Amino acid sequence: MFIGLRHIQRATRLSRFAGLPRAQYFQSAGSRSFSATAHYHQTTWRVGLAACVAFAALAGSSTILLESEQNVDDHYTDPETDISFPPKLKLASKVNLPTLTFLGAGVRRVSILQVKVYSVGIYADLSNPNVKITPDMTSEEKLTHIVQNTSCVIRIVPTRTTSYSHLRDAFMRNLQQRLVKAKKQGRLSVEDENEVQSPLRKLKSLFPTTSIEKHQNFDIFLPEPVPGKQRPLVFRDLGAVESDWVTNEFIMSYVDGMSPALKKEMLLRADRL
């Protein structure tokens, strides 16, 4: 069972769904899909986003991701954890949502003992016309361009049963470290720092004290950016924050090498794009 949260009234539309009245995620007959109705709703994520967004109700390995249709032999298996990732994530919906392509995966280690905490995989919509890879780009430039211009999913799969609060604390420490670094480098003004405090507090408040089971998928969705709107960061079952800075720094922490194994795999794959 997944956590039902209160519905937040404000909602808006994704740019690619212009012309649709509103949007709703819902659950029926054991599957979840996306349809046009009065408000953003869904069974596992009851979160309306004032910024821009239709978002994925990702709830476990067999929900809206059509992974069962893919050949298991095509899955990427993290050699350090034996956790596998499908080559594609397809969002089942009433409207045509994009297929997300696997960009890489790797283990996340913590502490001086280098304990394996989770495997993390990154997916992106490479069919988005906003993705414009050029031959002169380095692999790192390609990855940065992709995650900043199209829909993405960060899939976290714990190697052992852990708590949401453990993940929350790690996320918050990482974002605070990046905030301090950005200030030192002159990339974040005092005004900008003050503006991100509210979404940071919101992010911290999303996480319950319950546990997340070993090998349970925890998916974090980033819709494609919409001009003039804050880009949301949407956590399966929990809710969302709306902040360009938080969203960008969150995914860039993985691209920048928070998991060296993930970065290595992503660079190898980006080199072939």
Q: Which domain holds residue 98?
A: 58-270
Confidence (pTM): 0.76
CB 42 within 8 A of CB 25: yes
Q: Give alpha helix (H) positions in the chain.
A: 139-147, 164-184, 190-206, 244-255, 260-270
247 pLDDT band, cuts 50/70/90, is very high
pLDDT digits (tens, 9 = 90+) for 36-83: 322 333 333 333 333 334 443 433 333 444 444 555 568 999 999 999
Tell whether 14 is covered by a domain. Answer: no
Query: Which residues are CB-contacts of 66 (< 8 A; sequence separation ≥ 6)?
Result: 90, 92
Arithmetic mean of pLDDT, 154-174: 94
Tell whether 42 is covered by a domain. Answer: no
Tell whether 215 is covered by a domain. Answer: yes
Number of domains forming the structure of the chain: 1
What span, in angstroms and rounded, lies between the C-alpha atoms of 122 and 101?
A: 8
Tell whether 4 is covered by a domain. Answer: no
Arithmetic mean of pLDDT, 20-38: 33
Which CATH number goes with the domain that contains 150? Answer: 3.50.70.10
